[in-house]
Chain A
Amino acid sequence: MSAAPRAALLEVRNLRISFGGLAAVRGADLTVYRGETHCLVGESGCGKSVTALAVMGLLARNGRRKADRLAFDGQDLLRLSESRLSKLRGDRMAMIFQEPMTSLNPAYTVGSQMAEVYRRHRGGTRAEALDRAEDLLAKCRVTSPRLRLGQYPHQLSGGLRQRVMIAMALMCDPELLVADEPTTALDVTVQAQILRLLMDLQRDLGLALMLITHDLGVVARMAHRVSVMYAGEVVESAPAAELFGNPTHPYTRGLLACVPVPGKVRRDQPLGSIPGVVPRIGHGFAGCAFRDRCGQARAECARTVPWRTSGEHGYRCILPPGWAGPASLAA
């Protein structure tokens, strides 16, 4: 973790997203710094993907987005018109998705889909764009990249398609890359390759990478900073080493107890589990959403819970910092 000057690239304050009567995100705070990998973790349905889509302005039509601040490099994204925003998307901020099988248009070649982004944002001839596409495919470790440009998505495997998606996202040298569970749909061996690739690209290109995952092993390997989401809220956020060394929110502790992190969990120690499921939250819900599943719950958990910080480590819980003792994992 470098000590380079830290400039915030993406700032999210009190982001609220709802679909009809259902609150998907209820006040999420998030800061992604330049050149850092920021992992967003949590169970399915906790609002990670929706948060990422809201940042990109890609919510489905019935999704409503509100926030106190949503800024990319100081620019207020909330005030940006759709056409101004679309000039930013694919150029300075790019996104890759969970489903490489369906995320590419079946009717066009890889080359034409890649060239299209570049020409939209940077202009130039098709030949120039295709040359750039070839370079990037090579950089994404795609074999015989020239050949791939002329192929259609259905001719490629899932892993290759995700590499194409990544290369396509990098066409315009974005500062921010949002990756929404980019390996979930892939085979295990391919998963490792894609993550390795993302890690190397992040480092080599100095990308700010917002990586959404539910895999804490991935987080341990890749993240500079981690935000843990639960039921539409960020419940804990800290630099990776601090989070793994000193998890404070009961949910984070429970989550870590469920996963064998190499070197952190003893061989004979049984893995934990969190009873219950993520609740569906309607409007007007107050207090900590985790309280029904929490071993530490008290009466005051039903009231508004404060955001406590110590240094770069913040969490949303009534418990004091270090309540469980440092560096020990909840069983």
Chain B
Amino acid sequence: MNENMRTKRWGQEAVETKGWWLAHKWLVLRRVSQLGILAAFLVGPWFGLWIVKGNLNYSLTLNTLPLADPFILLQSLVTGHVPEKLALIGVAIVAVFYLLVGGRVYCSWVCPVNPVTDAAGWLRDRLGIKGGAHVSRNARYWILALTLLLAGITGTLAWELVNPVSMLHRGLIFGLGSAWMVVLAVFAFDLFVMNRGWCGYLCPVGACYALIGKASPLRVTAVKREACNDCMDCFAICPEPLVIKAPLKDATKGVGPVILASECTNCGRCIDVCSKDVFSFGSRFNNAASMAGVARAASKRSTQVGSAS
């Protein structure tokens, strides 16, 4: 049985039917985005070509465009400090952007920790490591609340002392020091302790962005869900598999095909690995359950109501 699972890799079917590129398109684009953003930050200190100054907490692009991280600025506000104009403009731009494209686009397209945890997830699958700690997916929101509480109590940006996201990004640009140990710890945690543990359960940065993108128009949608052949590849590859289930499988309950859960990172891996091209990027507003599904759902509901009375 185990042997069987090892012979068939996730997404193999998609590679066979669609070809390598279409089965990896969004993954490659995502890596290009992550590396490109990092490179834009690095060509300054490395080659003296200053495209972007600063780091993901706050940056100034071409000496004109300010961008600021809402999570860190929120913590700073809680400590009682009101920032200067540039930071406020920067945070407004960032907030509006992620409001439109989906908050956790930050996680899958920008964050430097994502390749680390993706690698851990990939290796975990390769080595066949199963099980581990169980924590609620809501833990991140609790930790988000905790970081704000800590900022208020200590009067300092306490989470910044341990935040692997800013530590890694700042480290790559300004000097890593022992931050690599923190990154290694996250990698080992995801590999041995919890599948997709850091990004999927704990990280308060991702939680904050998930809240920002709660109503984002750009969503992944299971628009051709009738074609699903239950191969489970999307569930296996998705870092947040809970978000897929209802839109993909609950057409009969009148659930629309759009993945509305804000935990979805819009990474597009499900689009890649599906050999039937069930998924695609779309708008959250095209979310009508198919007529057949609605009809079925309505009849089901009426029978339920009938039986209850």
Bound together? no
Query: Interface on A for B, CB 8 Å cutoff?
Result: none
